[in-house]
Chains A and B, each alone.
Chain A
Amino acid sequence: MSELLQEDDPATNENGPLVEVNGLKTYYDTGGLFGSNPVKAVDGVDFAIDRGETLGLVGESGSGKTTLGRTLVQLESATEGEVLFDGTDVTTLSGSDLKNWRREAQIVFQDPESSLNHRMTIGEIIREPLDVHDWPNFSVAVDDPEDRSVSVSGDGIRADPNESADITVELAGAGPSIAVRDALAMNADSVDVSVSEQSSSVSVSVSVAVSKAQLRRAHVRDLLETVGLREEHYYRYPHQFSGGQRQRVGIARSLALEPEFVVLDEPVSALDVSVQAKILNLLEDLQSEFGLTYLFIAHDLSVVRHICDRVAVMYLGHIMEIGETEELFQNPENPYTYSLLSAIPEPDPTADRERVTLRGTPPSPRDPPSGCPFSTRCPVKIRPEAFRDVDEHTWESVETLREILRERENREMGVRDHAKALLGLETGFEDFVDVAEEVFTRNGSLEAEGVATEGLDDSARIERALDDIDPVAREPLKETIELVLADKESRAHELLVETFESDCGEQSPEHHSVSDSGRTSYCHRHRSEFDDTAVAFDDLLSSAE
């Protein structure tokens, strides 16, 4: 999209990215009154967004993508790290600096039902940001061939040289010639300029005959038209609009202050597919018209693929993979990206893909796993040397057992559980033989395998259940189960981790560069000693057949 940038916009002439995020962390409930674990919604991300680019941010719920988007527009405050906007760290801004900066970065929300105040008319809603910033400020740029120092008085203020001025006064020639920016619905006749020139300075006094209120109303009307609504919608209320129309109003409001950067927080997720297409087209039109830079947050990957230049895939507060859209979709390098893409149902019943279905649900961001965040669900997790060749069922059993122990460890025993345990009633912790049976047997239980369980004691049952497991893994698993049965659950968990853990669960991976276009992926598999993701998945899928 970079070719769409308007050349006359002075701000875009600078090189380098518009937004640069370094080591950003956003935690919730930090410390607080109860000193509990914070929710690590965004847990150290780095990336940059170029001018005029659309960066997609995808991930499951709880991945931190919305928090990241909200942090970029300073709706959440960052716990650590910096967000450089045009080189300025906006996480440190406050007061009027922050307020002024807000004009540059806006957000469009997901739910068109909730993002518009129902008690205000569409006109009032779109106009509010203008009122807040007292738009337009009548910034005056004085074009003086002699380059003297300029002072501006009257209705106008002196324009920031980096921004496009509302009124441009050119001093060359007989009298000053006046030009007014297109966004303002007035012509140069409405501006009266008197210039007093000295040898080393010029003072310009500006008086504008049009009221700001009138200009704002006209601007709102323009915006309505820009987003495909009609002028008469000005006095209607949100209730009188459909979801798609409301989302258009939300977009118009975010554009009111003429921002450079817009965070689109799932702007089409709540819409039907035919309406969604219209909004996506609109967003693309607006981007080319105003040279906007987008951060497009979504969970629908087909939408992201359509609209984004680059994509970042988030999981548990980390960016797992980031790179050019097409490249990433066609050749995902990170196991999570691979699994995520594989999970999208394709609107084509004849497509015959081999699917990887992920196990379980993402862990809580309050208590993320150590090492790689995806290690608890990764289908192609790196195995320790000794178990590299065990069959899929064995590995699956080990992982399931780990998950069960992990969850049991995290679970707090309620009062009821304690009381039950005191009374010697079953608390769900004692029937672990059944659990072991379910986990280890291929068919879910010994009975299903035609083994008569009557008369078998616990250890015999475990023994039989382990028959389905690769011999290499039998001994540690048996030991683990025995430890659990002896009520030493945490020791059992430790043993399991010690035996079966690899780098994935122990060390945080690095962001490996995986292509010439600068794509990076956060995974141990990119280290030279391991198989690539694609190879690993091929092995996995062929073994499943």
Chain B
Amino acid sequence: MATPVSQTTTESPLLSVKNLQTSFFTDKETIRAVDRISFDIHRGETVGIVGESGSGKSVTARSIMGLVDSPGRIVGGSVQFSDVDTVERLAEEYPGQTIDLADIRAEHDPAALIEQLQSREADLSRLNGPGMADRDPVELVREGSVTMGDLVAGGYTDQLGITDEDAYIVRDADDGGFVDITGASEAAYRKIRGRGIAMIFQDPLTSLNPVYTVGNQIKEAIRLHQGLQGDEAHQEAIRLLEAVSIPDAHRRVDEYPHEFSGGMRQRAVIAMALACKPQLLICDEPTTALDVTIQAQILELLMEIQEERDLAIMFITHDMGVIAEIADQVNVMYSGELVEKAPVESVFGAPKHPYTQGLLESIPGRHPDEDRLRTIEGDVPTPNVKPTYCRFAPRCPKAFDACDVVHPVNVDVSEDVDDNHTAACLLYPEDLPESDAVEHHRKRGDGGDDQ
């Protein structure tokens, strides 16, 4: 069940996706499958991503995992993974691509650097957090809300030539630093995948090799990521199968995937993922192919595992019911963009974006007294051009003229201070008159800031 996550604002996130952009290049067009989305995932938290088919939710997951297939590729943004263990492992392996913040702090003063940047007329908008747009950056540094880490993460030190552009591992003695996964090589990715971030797919059969026993495959993962061998690995595999509630694990460990039922296979895949001891588990529609009673089992299992291991989970689904069940935070995607972001209670209790509203309204049973279901007109468009308008406008019942010419950015729509609820719609901020709100979006949109 969803737990309130008020601590999220204080603790730094485990995974921070910033302006991530992934495009597919075909002969005919460029499809902006993921178009500048930003969100955070904290430890112990489940972040749900919902959207219809074609909204880009799976591509988001694959981008984080570095599994985007040609002709697609990540064209912008960063994915910062702040797991200390992963940072240390990679820093050891790739010292040439590591930035040690301690060194830079010793040599430079952030305020001085900012002045240097200002003299070069660099765009400093990436530094300013929400609500700080109009403040002087130097002042922000003085009061501590902008640090050297922010300068490095924003790429400003690269601009000044202090750090190497290729460096993507940032070590920080204070809060562990981060790895910008989008900069990692394939070899480095392999070190992050599994042990840092593991992924579960919709069809468990794609992750299981039919010619090896389930146990063999789990043992392989254990051998790779935990260094256990022989009987130790065997016992660990059985323990893991038991941990995912597979009865009679002693026998099951020697069976082949085809001897498992659908639900059991998904459990085995989860066991395999756990064998790597990941910090973040990405679940891409893991229960879509399963029956509802089995789905309930798997969801229960995931919640148990999360509690036991303080896992962060990114859960992708199109089923609003499942999201309500499992997620703490919800990101709603539409046509490659993140249109609404909020704690689960707010999304279901007070959805702000017309798309989210429409999506929820079309679920049967929302209005038991009505005979007809409410629908959203039209289809999800293919995001093949840079948006200078609202992509939902053609289907939006609340659209007005400005929707066709101004691209909305995510603005704060929280009803509660701790809510952290944003929506990308020109109707907001609600307290501003319409024209001012539009102007607000236009200005922020031009600045290139998506936050």
Contact = CB atoms under 8 A, between A and B. Distances in A.
B160 interface: no
B101 interface: no
A299 interface: yes
Contact of A361 (B251, B294, B360): B294
Contact of A408 (B1, B251, B327, B360): B251
B300 interface: yes
A407 B296 contact: no
B294 to A, nearest CB: 7
Q: Which of the listed residues B261, B348, B373 has the most CB atoms from chain A within 10 Å of its own CB? A: B373
Nearest to A305: B365
B247 interface: yes
A403 interface: yes
Contacts of A243: 53
B324 A274 contact: no
Contacts of A273: 52, 318, 320, 359, 362-363
B366 to A, nearest CB: 8
A529 interface: no
A348 interface: yes
Interface stretch (B31-39, B112-120, B374-382): B374-382
A277 B363 CA distance: 7
A346 interface: yes
A361 B248 CA distance: 14
Nearest to B347: A349
Interface string B309-338: 000000000111111110100000000000
Contact of A444 (B1, B242, B358): B242
A352 B250 CA distance: 36
Given A61-B291, A299-B291, A348-B348, A361 B250 contact: no
A303 B371 CA distance: 12
Given A284-B371, A361-B261, A346 B293 contact: no
Contact of B319 (A60, A345, A349, A431): A345
Contact of B324 (A281, A303, A349, A355): A349
B307 to A, nearest CB: 15
Contact of B318 (A272, A342, A407, A435): A272
Contacts of B363: 273, 277, 302, 347
B58 to A, nearest CB: 14
Interface in A400-447: 400, 403-404, 407-408, 411, 428-429, 431, 434-435, 438-439, 444
Contacts of A347: 320-321, 323-324, 348, 360, 363, 366
A209 interface: no
B292 interface: yes
B365 A428 contact: no
B364 interface: yes
B295 interface: yes
A276 interface: yes
A358 interface: yes
B155 to A, nearest CB: 37
Contacts of A355: 296
A64 B295 CA distance: 19
Given A272-B318, A274-B358, A301-B292, A280 B373 contact: yes
A398 to B, nearest CB: 13
B421 to A, nearest CB: 14
B122 to A, nearest CB: 43
A274 B375 contact: yes
Contacts of A284: 371-372
B344 interface: yes
Chain A's interface: helix, strand, loop or mixed, by majority?
Answer: helix
A349 B364 contact: no
B293 A277 contact: no
Interface in A329-362: 339-340, 342-352, 355, 357-358, 360-361
Contacts of B247: 360, 400, 403-404, 439
A244 B380 CA distance: 11
B297 interface: yes
A272 B348 contact: no
B242 A346 contact: no
A274 B364 contact: no
A278 interface: yes
B40 interface: no
Given A278-B375, A358-B296, A428 B291 contact: no
B325 A345 contact: yes
A242 interface: yes
Interface string A285-317: 000000000000001011101110000000000
Contacts of A404: 247-248
Nearest to B238: A434
Contacts of B250: 428, 431, 434-435
Contacts of A343: 292-293, 295-296
Contacts of B320: 273, 347
Interface in A493-532: none
B254 A428 contact: yes
Contact of B364 (A242, A305, A351, A352): A305
B292 A60 contact: yes
Interface string B284-311: 0000000111111101100000000000
A302 B365 contact: yes
A302 B373 CA distance: 12
A394 B296 CA distance: 23
B264 interface: yes
A305 B363 CA distance: 11
Contacts of A444: 242
Contacts of B291: 60-61, 299
Contacts of B53: 243, 272
9 contacts: A242-B379, A302-B363, A347-B360, A349-B1, A358-B296, A403-B247, A428-B250, A438-B242, A438-B249
Interface of B: 1-2, 52-53, 242, 247-251, 253-254, 261-264, 291-297, 299-300, 318-325, 327, 344-345, 348-349, 358-360, 362-366, 371-376, 379-380
Interface of A: 60-61, 242-244, 272-278, 280-281, 284, 299, 301-303, 305-307, 339-340, 342-352, 355, 357-358, 360-361, 400, 403-404, 407-408, 411, 428-429, 431, 434-435, 438-439, 444
Given A274-B359, A340-B292, A345-B295, 13 more contacts: A244-B379, A272-B52, A273-B318, A274-B376, A281-B372, A281-B375, A299-B292, A302-B321, A307-B364, A343-B293, A349-B325, A350-B349, A357-B293
